[in-house]
């Protein structure tokens, strides 16, 4: 059995006071068997780790460099992430791809850099509205996953997470239907199985397109959906709690 994972992607939101209030509410009302993760802006990560000491909630980051160190102003390396005791890092988010020009090769390099340090990538994949309407959803998602599998090789595929995020459903209020979500998740798991059935069986695949309290239970109940990568709803304690409770 794959333990469900619910990861809150705060994006570029929060302040010291807002974070403290949100986490106080979240911790006090959380009761779930799911693994729970919050991914704040990196400047807040250490303080949030300290605030969450003694709780079951883990801290992740939203991005990382593929470089270990050097003259890369503004970047954070996997070694620094490891030094903080942080385990999970989101990579390949659609906003990183569309706004910052990251391509499949960039994402694969970050995946390898993280796994080489024993860290766990949350690999985001997904199609735009134009790609879905053109019937290219499976082609796009398959290419994004294959780019990583091909570059990483078997030795780096022991522990990672995939998040399917239909780009057309992020921040729009739209959500893939359970049938649409399951179809893509099943294709992703089948793709993993072509490489290694054991890897396919153990790898958690999250849904990441406007998951909220109202739709979380229906989505997470699907056979190939193992939790959620949650955006806006993760900034509202009651919403995020409800999603975590729906996961187990």
Q: Which of 95, 165, 185, 245 is catalytic?
A: 165
Q: Are 146 and 191 in contact (CB under 8 A)?
A: yes
Give the C-alpha separation, 121 to 5, whole Å. Answer: 13
Please state the separation of Cα 228 from the chain's center in Å. 8
Q: What is the spatial distance between Cα 217 and Cα 197, in angstroms, rounded to a whole number?
A: 27
Helix-helix angle 104-116:137-152, to 10 degrees? 40
Question: Among residues 35, 93, 95, 239, which one is catalytic?
Answer: 93
Our answer to whether residue 127 is catalytic in this structure is no
76: which 2 tokens? 């954070």
CB 46, CB 84: distance < 8 Å: yes
Q: Is 93 a catalytic residue?
A: yes
Active site residues: 93, 165
């Amino acid at each position: 059995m794959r333990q469900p994972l619910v990861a809150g992607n705060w994006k570029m939101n929060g302040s010291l006071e807002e974070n403290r209030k949100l986490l106080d509410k979240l911790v006090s009302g959380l009761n779930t068997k799911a693994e729970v993760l919050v991914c704040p802006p990196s400047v807040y990560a250490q303080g949030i780790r300290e605030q969450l000491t003694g709780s079951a909630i883990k801290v992740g980051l939203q991005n990382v460099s593929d470089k270990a160190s050097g003259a890369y102003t503004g970047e954070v390396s996997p070694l620094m992430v490891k030094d903080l005791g942080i385990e999970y890092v989101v990579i390949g988010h659609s906003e990183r791809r569309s706004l910052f020009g990251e391509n499949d090769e960039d994402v694969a390099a970050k995946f390898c850099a993280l796994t080489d340090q024993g860290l766990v990538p949350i690999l985001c994949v997904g199609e735009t509205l134009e790609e879905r309407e053109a019937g290219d959803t499976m082609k796009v998602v398959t290419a994004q996953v294959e780019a990583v599998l091909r570059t990483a090789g078997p030795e780096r595929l022991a522990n990672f997470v995939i998040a399917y995020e239909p780009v057309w459903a992020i921040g729009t209020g739209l959500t893939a239907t359970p049938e649409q979500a399951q179809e893509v998740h099943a294709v992703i798991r089948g793709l993993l199985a072509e490489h290694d059935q054991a890897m396919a069986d153990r790898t958690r695949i999250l849904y990441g397109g406007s998951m909220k309290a109202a739709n979380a239970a229906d989505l997470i109940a699907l056979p190939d959906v193992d939790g959620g990568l949650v955006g806006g709803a993760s900034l509202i304690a009651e919403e995020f709690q409800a999603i975590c409770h729906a996961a187990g």
